[in-house]
Structures are given as C-alpha cells and as structure tokens.
Structure 1
Amino acid sequence: MIQVREYARLTTDANATPSLDCGIVNSSTFAWLQDLASRWNKSEPIALIDGHGSLRLGSYVGYLQSPTGEAIEILPKTGLGAEDPQAARRILQRMLMTSLDVRPRTAGDAKLRRMRQPLHEWIFRQFLTELQRLVGRGLRFDYQRVDEESRFIRGQLRLSQQQRQPLGRRHLFQISHDIYTPDRLENRLLKTTLSYVLANCKSGENWRRANELTHRMADIPPEQEPLRAMNNWRSNKLMQDYDAIRPWCELILAKLNPNFQQGQHRGIALLFPMEQLFEKYVEVSLRHELPAGIQLKAQASSQYLLRHKPQGSDISTTMFQLKPDLLLRTPLGDQVLDTKWKLLDQCAWTSDKKYNIAQSDLYQMFAYGHKYQHGRGHMMLIYPKHPAFTEPLPPFHYSESLAIWIAPFCLESSRLVSGGWEAHFPQTTNKRPLASL
C-alpha cells in the first residue's frame, strides 16, 4: 500500500524516491485518479495536474483504491513528527472518532496506540467491535405480518382467499399472522455491511470476527438498496443501542463499497476534506467542555455583509451571507470562533510573513466581528498546534473595541491551549480550562 500525506505528489515515474510527500503509482491507477479528479464535484479539488505523469493531491485525507486494487493511504500533514506515519494515523483516527461523536468507550488512547492498520481496516474494526457488542446484547426484533397457507389456524383466517380454495385443498387454511423476527431494515443494513467487510478485509483478526458474526446473523437477509434504505434508519429511544454503529455503517456503505457507487470506474474514494474535518473536530471537542446554558452554534447564518435595493425596486435584499464556523452564544453576548487547517509559525512575526496568517482570513473575521458582535468584544481564530505553534499569540486589535485571538488547538488532547484568551472567553472556562499545555 502506498502511504502519503496531504499535498503529496503522485507520479508514474519509477525513478522517483518514495516518501510521505511522493508516491509512485502504476499507469492504470494514475488514469483512474485523473478521471476521479475531473469528475470531483466538491469545492476543493482532490488533485491537480503537476506535470506529465504527475498529480499533486489536495487537502484531503483518507483511503483510495483504484479498480485494479492499488491502494493509497493519505494522512494529515500535522507537523507532528514529519516522518512518523503512525502518529499521523493516530491523529486522523482520533479526529474521525471525535467528529463522528463516537462513544469514548471505543476511542481509548491505549487502543489507538495499538492500531497499526490502514484506515479502511481500522474502520472495519470499529464496525465489527460495535456489531459484536450489539449482537451480544441482542439485536432488535420486529413484528412482521405473514400471509401463508397452513394446516392449522393461527392469527386471522383470510376468508375471501379461503372461499376460493379448490376442493382438493379445503383442508388447508389461508391465514395471516405476525412473526417476531430480526428481519428489519436496520439489521439488513448491518448484514449488508458485514458481508462487504468479510469479503474485503485483509486483516486476519477482522476476517475472523466478521466470519463469526456472519454465522450468528445467518437468518438475516442483506438489504438490496442500502444507500436508499439508510435514509429510513430509525433513531428513537427503542433504537438507542444502534446509534454507535450507524456512522461506521454509513461510512462503509457510502464510501468504501464500490458496488454501491455510480459510474463505470468503480474504485474506492474514502476522502475527508481536512478543513471540514478539523472544524468538526474542534466543534465536538469544545461542545463537550462547555458548561450548561452555553450554546455553540455551528455554521451560524443569520447575518449578511450587505443590504441592497435594486434600481426600480421597493424591496431591499440581503447579499453575501456570513457563516462563521462556530458562534459561542453566552449571556454576555455572542463570540465568533473560526477554524483554519493551516500550520502557523509563532516565530515568523516579521512584516513579510506575519506568522503565515492569511490576510483574507483576517478580513473575513473583521466582517464577522462587525455583523455578529456589533464591532465589540473578542473573537478567536483556531489553528492546529504543532512544534512551531505551541502557544496563543498576543491579541490583534481591529479597533479599541474589537480584538481577535489566535490560539492553537492540540490534536492529541482535543483541547485549546490555555493562555491570555481565557480571560476574555470566561463562559468557556467555568467548568475547567479548555486546555492546558
């Protein structure tokens, strides 16, 4: 399996030196990647042409498998141990678990340290762990109406059908009754996912567990249209035991199984945009730390940059919606938090580098501050912590009344690094500091 990280170069040049920043693929895989990139309909490109026989990956992490079976694992570029893929993989696993809001029971650090499997095998493992727990506690059964011909009467007699019975079959009864069965949509989806895992896992431990569970679920048929059926998955009090396995089931069915994908070139593209993954990771982590009564709203969208009345119109309209990543709603007022997946340098404060902060990000925060905070108070930009950015920067002032803090978020502890910003975000520290160095 080829192992690279974000922004790596993929080439067909056999003379290139393989590393986390350069992977060598065969010509068939390269053609598939070109086709995948041309059909990619997300805002961020998956890859860009970087010369003849070469592609430059975008800011995505995950797992790719071409139709020929060649596999590529893409890890995050965290700046933590530049040549340590195991550390990068552990961070990616932790971010995925947190973003999916998986129960802490399955996300222990000791377990993560033992996992040296590729991303897709790790996802299979999480699914099998949850399924094993679910089967051990007992799958949810449901009543199902059955119409059949029987020698004995039970349930209801279907009179109209019984009256049409031929003379030679008058001793048999047309009946309708309920049976208590595990054949329900959620279990069929689990069986479909399990069948795929059994057929495609390479890990001996995963195969053993999948094979055992397949025998225990032998009476449950697979779901014929799983992607459409996922929309009908029930989430209620009676189905709480299924909540933990659902995200893994969705991941495998929607992204890891090429049989359910569209198009003729059916490879696997399990990819996560790092900007969105980091945003979700920060959101879920902070939400768990907030005291009662404090809200953290993701993707607030109540404000617009402009109002405009077109010529000849009596009605003015709003234009250019402003959507900060996170909005902290407290009794003292709203505070904007925005996340950026970029590596800052706390020593690069010179006029030309400016800590590697993008000027456009500060313009964006200026607009957020005036629209969501009425030009007053404190805001925060959150970047990943790494060896060159270990502590919050001193505040930046837009004016006497509006300031912004730039703080690192520890990817290993899932917390903001503490610092001077805490005095200006008191509602986040009532319970305990969001982070410590």
Structure 2
Amino acid sequence: MIAHFTLRERQTLAVGVSGGISPEQANEFARLEPALPPSLIEWVHNGIRFGPFCGVIRAGNVVIELLPKIDDRDDDDSRARGTLVAMLRETSNLGVRRGGTAQLEMQRFHLLDQFIEDFCASVTTLLRTGAISVYQDQRDNLTAVRGRIDLTSNTKVNVIDRSRIYCEYSERTVDNAHNQALKGTLTVLRRFSNSSTVKGIVAALLHRLDEVTSRKIGVRDIAGLPFDRLSDHWRPLFQRAEWLLRGLFPDTRNGPVDGTCLVFNMERLFEGFISSKLRRGWHGQAPNRIILQGPQLHLATTSERGAFKLRPDMALHDGEAVRRIFDAKWKRFDRKRPNFGIAPADIYQLTAYASRYGCDQVALVFPGRADVASELVGEFTLTVPSRPQVQVYAVNLFDLSRGGRLPSGMLPS
C-alpha cells in the first residue's frame, strides 16, 4: 500500500514514531539518496529533513509531495500547490497556461498528476498540427506500379499471377521512433498517475496513437531521437519526456532504484520567477534592458588573470552601464528583527556589486507574507564613498502567480 505525505520544504518527516514512516521505509530513502540532488534530504534524529526543494519524491511505497513554505500562517496546500505550479509555468518549467475553473480544479491534484496532465496538454496542442510522420521504405505486391518495380522479387512472386507488380516505394507513416517514444512515455505516465481524471486524459491520447507500435522506452531512447526542420517544434516536449522518465526511474552507481525524484530547487526557481517578471516589466523600455546572471566582472585581479568573479542575478542595463542590480533571496526575513534579520553576507555581496559595477541602487528581493501586498519594506545607505542605496522588497507570491505586479519601485516609473 502506498503511503502519501504532503510536506513543506525544510519540514521533517518523522521516522519510527506515530504519524511518520518506519525505519524500513526510511532505508528506501537511504538507497535512493545517491540519485537525489545534494541537500535535498538531511538525516536528523528520528527523521528526514527536506531542503529548499519542491516537487515529488518516492522511495519504495512512500510518496512525498513537497510544497513551498511561503508563509507560516498559510497552511492551504491547494494554494501552495497552485502558486508553485504558476511559478513553474512562468519559468517555462511547465507548459500550457490555463485559467479559470480548470486551473482551480487542477490545484487539488497531487503534483505528480499535475506534471503528467501538463505533459498531456502539450501533447494535445502539438497533435492539432499532426503527429510526426516520416518516410519509410516499403516493399509490397501491388495491383499498380508505385515507386519502382523490384524486378527480382516480381519475377519470383508473380511468375503466375501477372495482375500484380512487386514494388519498392517510400510512404509517410506515423509509426516511427518519435511516436513510439511518445506512446511509451504516455504508457509509463498512466501507470504512475493517481488520478482517474488524469488517467483518462492519458488513455485518450494513447487511443490517438493506436497506429503506433507499442514498445518499452527509456531515457536513452528519447535522448537519441533526431530532429529536423519539420519536427524541431516537438523537441521541447521530448526534453520534458526525458526529464519525467529520468525522475521516475532514477539511477545510482549501483543501478536503478525503486524511487522517483521530480523536484525543483526553490532558490533557483524563485530567482527565475522574479527574473521573468522583471524582464516582462521592463520590456519595451529601450535602451533599458534586464540582463540575467551578468554582466560578469571580477572583483580583483592577479598579475595573470581576474579573480573572484561576480555574477548578479539581475541587472538593469541602459546600454552603457549597469544602473541597478536585483538579487533574489529565497529566505525568510522578519520585519520585527533588527535589519529585518538580513544576513550580513547578503549585504556584503551587494556592497561588492555596487562598488564594482558603479551603480547607486542595489536591491534584495524576498518572498513576503500571503496577506500583505508586494512592497518596498526598507532602505539602507551603504557607508562607502559612493553611498549607494540598498532597497529591500517583499513580494506576494500568491498575488504574483495570479498576474499581480512587482512593487512599483522595481519597475519603470
């Protein structure tokens, strides 16, 4: 019997106590650990603590759904799940966008089912323009010439019946490696789905691929698929299929393990989410543009090369110089603590940015409370010669994930 748990990132799953998992089940996580990202799990006294990751982990018969811990006061799993999915869509980690009641309905589904349904939605969209078809060589005994006559075979086969002609020809077919890989992936996803609704969606797509040969598909089969000008628009879908299969069947040095790992690093996801919103907000504001992960400069030099490379999360560039730098932090900050509880290392980092890039405004962007609008919560003046300003912003992820705007101070005036 499968045991399902829904936890928040950085939460601990009890081991050997009521409401948790058994030591034998914990051993399954130990076997899976080599296939997991570093810092995803940490072994603590009588428990397994999860790091800043969200998604789905399965070890043996235990399935963990990890949701973002956005606000201590908000324990609504559907809302956290919906916010995470919206962040994944904004950063192109998930595909087709939806709205209205369909999106609200999906928020109640387990994350794995949402990943599967999202994949199916992308398949449906692509199939509207037709499945991938390729020319394949055929040989058949026909009543009319098609392609070229195979004289040798025709002489052997039709020595008595002269009404037929043995031909060799090329014919477009959907029964090819790409569609076989797609059908194999969908077959796997149907097996892993927990939702009858999602299983039905997968079954409907499989029915549309009835003409395609069924065969077992692995990650290497998909990774080796060739694409040309006519099929290249399918490439992102097969990359997603590869990610799903790799997560559903992770490998360790000792071979395959009975587990699943489909997770996202929340620190990188939050950075990507804010970056996407920021780029959209500054779009069309030439010569201003947002540069991601750059421009890269060195903080120091040696006699031979640069040293201590700097790489800002987001920089506002006006074509000549960097005007502002934004640094996204997937951390908690506390309005009641001195300096909002901001780590000194984060301020040291921004001081280095302001000094090296010569900009007079740098900013920290944190996730804020679900019941407070996105806003500028404070400012500091750095006591260095140019006296740049450090702005501290808190963003309401629940609002942003539903089309809300960044604080006005982060956008063009």
* 1:369 has 2:361 as partner: no
2:116 matched to 1:107?
no
Q: Residues 249 and 261 of structure 1: is their aligned pair in 2 closer, same or farther, counting only changes over 3 Å?
A: farther
| CA-CA distance at 1:346 after TM superposition | 1.9
Aligned AA (1:339)? A
Counterpart check, 1:92 vs 2:84: yes
Displacement after TM superposition at 1:191 (Å):
1.6
Residue 397 (structure 1) aligned with residue 386 (structure 2): no
Contact 1:63/1:120 (<8 A) preserved? yes
Is 1:385 equivalent to 2:368 in the alignment? yes
Amino acid at match of 2:397: L
Matched to 2:340, the amino acid is Y
1:23-422 superposed matches below 5 A: 24-37=20-33, 39=34, 42=37, 44-51=38-45, 53-67=46-60, 69-79=61-71, 81-100=73-92, 106-108=97-99, 110-115=101-106, 116-135=108-127, 137-151=128-142, 153-157=145-149, 162-163=151-152, 168-169=156-157, 171=159, 175-221=167-213, 222=215, 224-227=217-220, 229-230=222-223, 232=225, 234=227, 240=233, 242=234, 245=237, 248-257=240-249, 263-292=255-284, 293=286, 294-300=288-294, 302-309=296-303, 316-331=304-319, 333-334=321-322, 335-348=324-337, 350=338, 354-371=339-356, 373-374=357-358, 376-386=359-369, 391-398=375-382, 399=384, 400-414=386-400, 417-418=406-407, 421-422=409-410
Cα 1:243–1:328 shift into 2, 3 Å: farther
Kindly provide the amino acid, as one letter, of the partner of residue 305 in structure 2: T
Report Cα offsets for 1:308-347 as digits up to 9, x if no partner.
12xxxxxx11222212212222246322211100121123
Greater shift after overlay, 231-240 or 148-157?
231-240
Aligned in 2, Cα 1:188/1:55: closer, same or farther, shift over 3 Å?
A: same
SS at match of 1:139: coil
1:403-433 Cα distance to aligned partner (Å, 9 max, x none): 22111222123256425x35xxxxx326xxx
Q: CA separation in 2, counterparts of 1:411 and 1:275?
A: 14
Secondary structure in structure 1 of the residue aligned to 2:64: strand
Do 1:379 and 1:405's aligned partners in 2 also have CA atoms closer than 8 Å? yes
Mapped to 2, the partners of 1:189 and 1:146 lie a distance apart of 20
Return closer, same or farther for 1:9/1:429 CA change in 2, 3 Å cut-off. same
Question: Following TM superposition, by how much is the alpha carbon of 1:189 offset from its aligned partner in structure 2, in angstroms?
Answer: 3.3
Give the C-alpha shift of residue 31 in structure 1. Answer: 0.9
Report the TM-score, using the length of structure 2 for normalisation. Answer: 0.84
- 1:370 Cα deviation from its structure 2 partner: 2.2
Report the identity percentage: 20
Letter of the 2:119 counterpart: F
User: Residues 6 and 66 of structure 2 are in contact (CA less than 8 Å); yes or no, is this contact kept in structure 1?
Assistant: yes
Paired positions, count: 394
- Range with bigger deviation, 227-236 or 322-331: 227-236
Match of 1:346, SS? coil
Query: 8 Å contact 2:154–2:165 — kept in the other structure?
Result: no
